[in-house]
Structure 1
């Protein structure tokens, strides 16, 4: 195993129907990898599935998502099962599918020391939102929260003003489509990726100088992309909207589910392994 690959999932490797173009939806090679309440929800292409299976045998591939452990377990991602996965935006490290209590205990301590608690944040958030434009308020893994909003009637100033309050209290806010995330600064994918890398080195699976490659599409992924030796993001999503750039981050030429294929081919090339194309 020559490298650690940390990849976001939604709108990076897997895609809902809403995240694909009509032409992509009409492809005959889509593979459904997630069902929710009996309905198909997330897809990738058969080529992406093939590349995932290949990468899982040539590198340490670590699914890295803002989903909670329960939401992550709904995905039948090709190449699994995974020795390590990162969920809850770095709030949980799953070891053979189960959250590591030692990691979570240390993280809870860091969150308490870093600023406001979740209850304080929720109180401040509820005072600023309205059912006129907020459809749901969800708490994720007792660590952070997110809103599901009607973007068309969301107040234009809300995100900037809410993020300003958050930053003064050790948290941050970002928006990905219809979801507005509010997350403590201590809960970060890059911290969890570094810990998984440390453990793999300690276990003799990786060497100290084994590189880290990463992919993601949202602002919550940016620290992980910056911390990696090299990374890639799709030419869609929150980072594209922000025109976010970094010297070590490549941007795909393709958008939508085809970007997933391009990202996996880039991983294969970066680890100097066959891409499966």
Structure 2
């Protein structure tokens, strides 16, 4: 078993967090309601084609760096491996990361091939292959509103759409078609994903938790694809924006952050800090030492 950061009482907390619109934000997703003069300091955490592409707050980056010293921080994202590897938090180098919606577990930046093979085996039981879904999606989408078509690590596919021109009823009919064949649909901003149901973040989160011997797992995410690992964690948090907010999704163990946009990253990392402190105080050090 790989060693993981632990508090002075030996307990191990794992933090599993989605990235986009949870911890990091594109310029269009910042949603800063403050004046320019009172806006928080932002830190660029992703460069794309030579330009800053994603940001979080300075407060969140500092807090995350401190948390990574005393807990196991596991980025948990639908991004492909290549997309994830562009993201760099100052002072944080996660040993584990989950990408491709659970299709890959990265260990020190390298994919765990055994995990990937087990995922491919589970996906093979679906009633439609990736090729089938790609073909059907192309047949249903028109060039005037389907801006881009992409495949993620040969595991799932998605389209980037013009929301103004998106036909009424497309998402509903596409969701039904996919659901009948063992696939699920998620709408994240302008991206519409089609993902095989066995491909899940919660399956990978639980696997990493076992590897590091975590006895307390906390989680954060904003999309429908995050709901499974939010519920599987001991406690979770979601921002008041995003797909789950649009669906009105709630769960007894999942709280809602106070602020929208990039300021939600402050709320989420502050909550992580509270949870790590709570976990470390569940069993006093002297009690653990006596066991």
TM-score by length of 1: 0.93
Correspondent of 2:138 among 91, 109, 126: 126
2:266 aligned with 1:254: no
2:211 aligned with 1:194: no
The answer to whether the Cα contact below 8 Å between 1:159 and 1:174 also exists between their aligned partners in 2 is no
| 1:245 Cα offset (Å) | 0.6
| Residue aligned with 1:267, SS | helix
2:85 aligned with 1:73: yes
**For residue 159 of structure 1, what is the aligned residue in structure 2?**
171
**For residue 229 of structure 1, what is the aligned residue in structure 2?**
234
Segments ≥4 residues shifted beyond 6 Å:
none
**For residue 20 of structure 1, what is the aligned residue in structure 2?**
30
Equivalents in 2 of 1:21, 1:81: separation in Å?
28
Equivalents in 2 of 1:168, 1:184: separation in Å?
11
2:263 aligned with 1:263: no
Correspondent of 1:242 among 242, 247, 250: 247
The range that moved more, 129-138 or 20-29, is 20-29
**For residue 13 of structure 2, what is the aligned residue in structure 1?**
3
Equivalents in 1 of 2:273, 2:139: separation in Å?
47
TM-score by length of 2: 0.89
The range that moved more, 96-105 or 69-78, is 69-78
| 1:125 Cα offset (Å) | 1.1
| 1:24 Cα offset (Å) | 5.7
Larger radius of gyration between Structure 1 and Structure 2: 2
Gaps of 5+ in 1: none
| 1:115 Cα offset (Å) | 2.6
**For residue 96 of structure 2, what is the aligned residue in structure 1?**
84
1:124-181: per-residue Cα shift (whole Å, max 9, x none)?
A: 1111110111000000000001110000110120111111111111100110110001
The answer to whether the Cα contact below 8 Å between 2:32 and 2:262 also exists between their aligned partners in 1 is no
The answer to whether the Cα contact below 8 Å between 2:222 and 2:241 also exists between their aligned partners in 1 is yes
Q: RMSD of the TM alignment (CA)? A: 1.4
Q: 1:25 to 1:97 in 2, by over 3 A?
A: farther
| Residue aligned with 1:153, SS | coil
Gaps of 5+ in 2: 1-5, 7-11, 279-291
| 1:211 Cα offset (Å) | 1.4
Equivalents in 2 of 1:196, 1:244: separation in Å?
26
Equivalents in 2 of 1:227, 1:104: separation in Å?
21
Q: 1:176 to 1:95 in 2, by over 3 A?
A: same
Equivalents in 2 of 1:57, 1:82: separation in Å?
10
**For residue 287 of structure 2, what is the aligned residue in structure 1?**
none
Equivalents in 1 of 2:127, 2:13: separation in Å?
35
| Residue aligned with 1:271, SS | helix
| 1:22 Cα offset (Å) | 4.5
| Residue aligned with 2:124, SS | helix
**For residue 212 of structure 1, what is the aligned residue in structure 2?**
217
Equivalents in 1 of 2:276, 2:40: separation in Å?
29
The answer to whether the Cα contact below 8 Å between 2:25 and 2:56 also exists between their aligned partners in 1 is yes
Number of residue equivalences? 267
